[in-house]
A and B are shown apart, each in its own frame.
Chain A
Amino acid sequence: MARGARAAGTAPARRRQHLPSVQLKFVMAVTGAVMLLYLVLHMIGNLKIFFGAEAIDSYSAWLRTLLEPALPHGGMLWIVRVVLLVSVIAHIVSAVVLARRARKARPVRYAHRQPVQGSYAARTMRWGGVIIALFAVYHILDLTTGTVNPNGVHGAVYDNITASFDRWYVTLFYALAVITVGFHVRHGLWSGLQTFGRSNAATQNALKGFALVFAVVLTAGFLSVPFAVVTGLV
């Protein structure tokens, strides 16, 4: 009787997971890598603004002619968008599944537990990801569709950017979001390399350093655009 009660309490229900957590981590790593590659190209493209309105506007027009005539006008852009959308969805779904498993893995919390010894970036991956997702929605409405852009003329990239960043609160939100991306990339890139089994005792610190430098350069590149607009450099 007592034994039965104890067995019920001590033996948690065992449930076979069809997708092991290790495999979901590979999904996180691969989709993260796809999005990171896009971010790098996006950041480099943004720097065209330093060569003037003409440079960035024509760059935007050129993106639509990629692989023409094999692809229709804007075809390559749509392929990139679809790949990104699939990556974003897979990344978020895996993250949600893993976060729910993590929550279930510790049903009773500690009364006293110091903050995680891991980095600030590691601790803010989940909520940081939510912030980035919300920012991405606003960012697309602002500078892709132009729906919430004060200028909002399709193809007038330079004017749209400067119009958007002329509002201090948009610039502030953008800066905070980009810094959040930086933190996300700092831990995500290191974590992805670890997931692919590319880390060992000798390379661990080097990989962490590489992820940090990568994240800082990426963040600085993205921040340079609003900085230039606000200070009147462009």
Chain B
Amino acid sequence: MRLHLKVWRQSSADAKGKIVNYDVDDASPDMSFLELLDVLNEKLALQGDDPVAFDHDCREGICGACSMVIDGQPHGPEKATTTCQLHLRHFRDGDTITIEPFRAGAFPVIKDLVVDRNAFDRIIQAGGYISAPTGSAPDAHATPVPKANADRAFAAAACIGCGACVAACPNGSASLFLGAKITHLGELPQGQPERHSRVRAMVEEHDASGFGGCTNTGECAVACPKEIPLDVISQLNRDYLDARKAGRKGA
């Protein structure tokens, strides 16, 4: 199949970028979207041009490395699919596809489609963990967890930290990511002792990194390749409110 690609090219963080047109004539419907870029890059390398830089790692849809906005949607048009798991059979022969990096002030472009997502690591460092030596995996039933809590924690823990929620949000907010971590740890007994300090520290780091505020448009949950539900943001808000109240009481 033949595809026309409009790709964001930016040689470095400080360089001015622009959209460049490429044609790929020998794409196969069975290729993944990243393989399409591999084919393009092979061609560019043979021509002596600079290949398109893009992030990728596991190519199994579980690591959160791949990013890019395809035709205006983070990870492309397929629901619950990362870019690496998006196949060209979802496009038509002759389609024009626009490919841009995730756009956020907190995710500056490093090169082409590669953005710096260290801000997410800083948010995790601020409180997205349990500060107890866990050792090896504990016995499955050593600490009972009600089924409903376990399910909700698991759904939230599916977050791979790719940043699609930020890329999709009209406010450039990372609230879905934040909410996923707060819910994931907050639903489990091990997450309770640090529940209040966690939400305060993570919210502070989120804002300091320059992410915007949530206006509940729901755009993030639609874009999320792991289908993190929007109600984790409600949980984030409630936990933050509880933490403020507890803080005032000096607890």
Chain A residues bordering chain B, tally (CB within 8 A): 52
- Interface residue? B100 (CB, 8 A): yes
Tell me how many residue pairs across A and B have CB atoms closer than 8 Å.
Answer: 173
* Chain A interface residues toward B at CB < 8 A: 5-6, 8-17, 20-26, 98, 101-102, 104-114, 116-119, 122-123, 125, 187, 190-191, 194-201, 204
A194-B233, A194-B234, A197-B238 known; A112+B71 contact, CB < 8 A: yes
Contact A10 B116 (CB under 8 A): yes
Per-position contact with A for B212-241: 1 when CB-CB < 8 Å, else 0?
Answer: 111111110010000001110111111111
Chain B stretch 59-74: residues in CB contact (< 8 A) with chain A: 69, 71-73
Contact of B13 among A10, A114, A198 (CB under 8 A): A10
Contact of A14 among B13, B170, B209, B239 (CB under 8 A): B209
Set of chain A residues within 8 Å of B32, measured between Cβ atoms: none
Set of chain B residues within 8 Å of A108, measured between Cβ atoms: 103, 109
Contact B231 A102 (CB under 8 A): no
Contact of B217 among A8, A21, A116 (CB under 8 A): A116
CA distance A15 to B209 in the complex (A): 7
* Chain B interface residues toward A at CB < 8 A: 6, 8, 12-14, 19, 69, 71-73, 98, 100, 103-106, 108-110, 116, 118, 152, 170-173, 203-204, 206-219, 222, 229-231, 233-241, 244
Q: A9-B14, A20-B206 are in contact. List 8 more A-B contacts (CB 8 A).
A: A5-B12, A9-B13, A12-B105, A13-B210, A23-B244, A25-B213, A111-B8, A200-B234
Contact B100 A110 (CB under 8 A): yes
Contact B241 A105 (CB under 8 A): no
Contact of A102 among B73, B213, B239 (CB under 8 A): B213
A-B contact pairs, 16 of them (CB 8 A): A5-B12, A10-B108, A11-B118, A16-B208, A21-B207, A22-B203, A25-B214, A104-B210, A105-B210, A108-B103, A112-B71, A113-B72, A116-B217, A118-B218, A122-B216, A201-B229
Contact A25 B203 (CB under 8 A): no
CA distance A130 to B216 in the complex (A): 19
Determine how close the nearest CB of chain B comes to the CB of A184; give it in whole angstroms. 12
Set of chain B residues within 8 Å of A21, measured between Cβ atoms: 173, 203, 206-207, 212-214
